[in-house]
Structure 1
Amino acid sequence: MRDFRDAKAMAQTLRESLTTKAVTISHSESLELVSRMLGVADWNTLSALLHAERRDPIAPAARLKATTALYPAIPLRDLVPFPNATYPMFVGREKTMRALNQAFEGGREVVVAIQREAAVDDPRFSDVYEIGILAQLLELETLGDGTLRVLTRGLRRVALRSFTAESAAYQAEVAEVSEGAARDARDLIRRIYQRFQDYTAAHGILVPDIWMFFDQTRDPGQIADTVATRMKLPIRDKYELLATLDPVTRLERIEALLDLSQRPISANYAATKRQALDYANRRRHQYATLEHFLLALMEDPDASAVMRACDADLGKLRQSLVQYLDSELQHTVIDSESAEPTAAFKRVDERASLHAQEVGNAAVTGANALIALFAETRSPAARLLAEHGVSRGRAIKAIARGAG
């Protein structure tokens, strides 16, 4: 087995085989079965193991250019910058501030190095990763406490040959690196585009111009860096994306990290999704909508706890939902007992998994689905929630206080 996609193919084959024997299971259930067959507790663990195994050693030295250059340097503890992105940085270490002053007196270029361990106060070459970026300094401001706020823009990747504190200021000798020839990745870019839309919505990440950027460029390296900049990841995972020089391989790593957002679902949430479909089937509606979903979430112990913590009157909310379903969806009544979930229904279900990852839930719950629903701002379900005082911000605060 090469990677997580082979495991997914096994799960699909298993599901299709069972279907021929009149045994129907969901895609997530088939993934869990494949995981157990391979001796792993669950799909999330198997996917993580396979992702870890397929990581290529980060060894960009073969692509280094022979010439080197010396620049003032900034060591960062808790940030991994990428090319073509602008970052504000707050600097308090004396050697870093001196390096910044040297850079502003010179060509306004500085090497940004990422520390392996944030706790190291005075890093040396062995304390920083070998790939950093060359950045341009845009603004420098001295704050009231004596520290500096500097605005930088990443230019390109570089490989560190040395990192020292000469003249009481950090300096780095670096070599240019090559990212290789461009390769076609249209299908991969399309998948990233679709998955990242759900990711940003689930995490509340505002990216007003990124979708226009996707339309205007097909450069896999630029797209990978733009997405990686906005992903919420541990420093090590972000650094591995920075140090992956081949653009298509970098995009593949991003896809794998997005795939790792999957979580098993709780028993209550599984029952809630079945209840939503049942509400649509009872009314012989052709589609199961977000309004059916919300009506079921009102009976979900986790989601309803969050709504009550927002001071919602669940009785009045239920009444509004039932009235909408029985009057506004009459045109969807057909002679069928099997409603099809709408695209919005499926999006909310997928975003719920991403939100569970963000807050560290071991399994997806109705509370995660409630948060995911707010991204569908044009839906009557989101409008009814707002009318009854349930907003995304209030719901997140309620969850932080322990509701749901």
Structure 2
Amino acid sequence: MRDFRDAKAMAQTLRDSLGTRSITISHSLSLELVSRMFGVADWNTLSALIKGSDGAKPSPAPIVQAATLRRPAIPLRDLVPFPGATHPLFVGRARTVNALNDAFAQQTDVVIALQKQRAVDEPGFADLHEIGLRADLIELTPLPDGTLKVQVRIGRRVVIRAFSHDGSAYQAEVSDIAEDGATDAPDLILRAVTRFERYAAIRNIRLSESWPPFGEGRQPGTVADTIAAQVLLPLAHKYELLAVLDPVKRLELVEALLDVTSRPLSSALQATRQRAIAHARDRRHRHATLEHLLLALIDDDSAAAVIKSCRASLKQLRTQTLAYVDTDLAHLAAEDGDIAQPSPAFLRVSDRAALAAQEVGYPVVTGANMLLAMFPETRSPAARLLAEHGVTMVRAAKAVADGIGKEEA
């Protein structure tokens, strides 16, 4: 039987089979489809798993306890928490409020159940994901509008066996999952921590003085959960990480998600980057700056769609940006030596764009992602030029969230 290490061969077989039926798909799309067959978000993640499996020592399988226990339950629809994290939760559904009151009265923990669809107001067992969590209640605060704010500390994963919503309070029957704590993967942990520190720098996440907070005995599962709790992802992708019970595989997936260099660029964005470099090279500028990049993005269909959604004139923005590049950047001209090297800001924006594509679930990095990644560079003339034409981070982010500028692999 084939497993995930046969993914490339399976992708080619799929492509050939569809070809015989006059259905043509790209090689990258066939890889993405096979990745989803294995329950993995995308090809980059599956590729990392394949590489990580070469010569890797197999980790012990997590044990799902046969015994079950019954606890008050809190169904969540807009958050996927991870073990070890502390969260404030705001609850208003009557059965959830009653479940919290029961838990405090009984001095017991609660089950966090994760909804498949946010729109469901009264979830039943079929509306919930299989993997949930146990959580300790730290503090309960009634709010003036009748809702509750509760501080919870997330504990271990559980398998939800049954869920009751017939009475006055939600309740769940669960089995604990025991992860083996003896697995050792120091090289993988070091790579994941190093990549997360780079991710935090790109995303302006301030790490605590106690970082990394793993203690002496670093376990892959603990490291994976600590990092996953801070990585921005669509909720569905967050749950995919939570549901990976093997701690080493979970950390491999987390590490792959943090690898900004592996995220594929759309063919249009590849051409746009080359065009930005050419703008600098043609003027013999030492660096390709964000202004060269903005000039190229104006002619990128994906980025242009976002700019137009902000009601800006592409023609006027192009004219003003071109004038800036030709006059204000004249001092970058070099008589000899290397020219058109991407500036540090150019590279930061490229990394940030790859993460932005991942966070909104785009299969490839697009010009829209690159445009959105410019705004944190608040001191750059490129950001100022965009603002002068009404292209703001809030407007651009809304356009990207609405799917404007999205391209297929």
Q: 1:37 to 1:163 in 2, by over 3 A?
A: closer
Q: Does structure 1 retain, via aligned residues, the 8 Å contact 2:265–2:366?
A: no
Aligned pairs for 1:278-357 (under 5 A) are 278-300=278-300, 302-303=302-303, 306=306, 309=310, 314=317, 315-327=319-331, 329-330=332-333, 333-335=335-337, 339-342=340-343, 344-356=345-357
CA drift at 1:82: 1.4
CA distance in 1, matches of 2:38, 2:130: 21
Gaps of 5+ in 2: 20-24, 41-45, 47-59
CA distance in 2, matches of 1:398, 1:243: 31
Q: Does structure 2 retain, via aligned residues, the 8 Å contact 1:263–1:356?
A: no
Q: 1:45 to 1:90 in 2, by over 3 A?
A: farther
State the secondary structure of the residue aligned to 1:374: coil
Counterpart of 2:178? 178
1:395 aligns with 2:380: no
The worse-fitting range, judged by mean Cα deviation, of 340-349 and 353-362 is: 353-362
1:368 aligns with 2:365: no
The worse-fitting range, judged by mean Cα deviation, of 207-216 and 315-324 is: 207-216
Match of 2:211 among 203, 213, 216: 213
CA distance in 1, matches of 2:141, 2:35: 46
Q: Residue by residue, what CA displacement relative to the aligned partner does 1:79-126 show, whole Å, maximum 9, x if unpaired?
A: 3221222333343443332221111123252121224565372524x6
Q: Residue by residue, what CA displacement relative to the aligned partner does 1:140-162 show, whole Å, maximum 9, x if unpaired?
A: 34445544333322122234455
CA distance in 2, matches of 1:250, 1:88: 25
Q: 1:80 to 1:275 in 2, by over 3 A?
A: closer
Counterpart of 1:18? none
Counterpart of 2:49? none
Q: Does structure 2 retain, via aligned residues, the 8 Å contact 1:221–1:247?
A: yes
Aligned residues: 370
State the secondary structure of the residue aligned to 2:154: strand
Q: 1:301 to 1:72 in 2, by over 3 A?
A: closer
Q: What's the RMSD between the two structures over aligned residues?
A: 4.6
Q: Does structure 2 retain, via aligned residues, the 8 Å contact 1:86–1:154?
A: yes
Q: Does structure 2 retain, via aligned residues, the 8 Å contact 1:80–1:114?
A: yes
CA distance in 2, matches of 1:356, 1:62: 32
Structure with the higher helix share, 1 or 2 = 1
State the secondary structure of the residue aligned to 1:213: coil
Gaps of 5+ in 1: 11-31
The worse-fitting range, judged by mean Cα deviation, of 90-99 and 251-260 is: 251-260
CA drift at 1:193: 4.8
Counterpart of 2:28? 43
Aligned pairs for 1:141-156 (under 5 A) are 141-156=141-156
Counterpart of 1:251? 251
Q: Which amino acid aligns with 2:375?
A: F
Counterpart of 2:38? 53
CA distance in 2, matches of 1:321, 1:220: 48
CA drift at 1:241: 1.9
Q: Does structure 1 retain, via aligned residues, the 8 Å contact 2:62–2:179?
A: no
Counterpart of 1:21? none
Q: 1:360 to 1:209 in 2, by over 3 A?
A: closer
Q: Which amino acid aligns with 2:75?
A: P
CA drift at 1:49: 1.8
State the secondary structure of the residue aligned to 2:122: coil
Q: Does structure 2 retain, via aligned residues, the 8 Å contact 1:199–1:354?
A: no
Q: Residue by residue, what CA displacement relative to the aligned partner does 1:341-362 show, whole Å, maximum 9, x if unpaired?
A: 3454344334434444555667
Counterpart of 2:136? 136
Q: Does structure 2 retain, via aligned residues, the 8 Å contact 1:3–1:51?
A: no
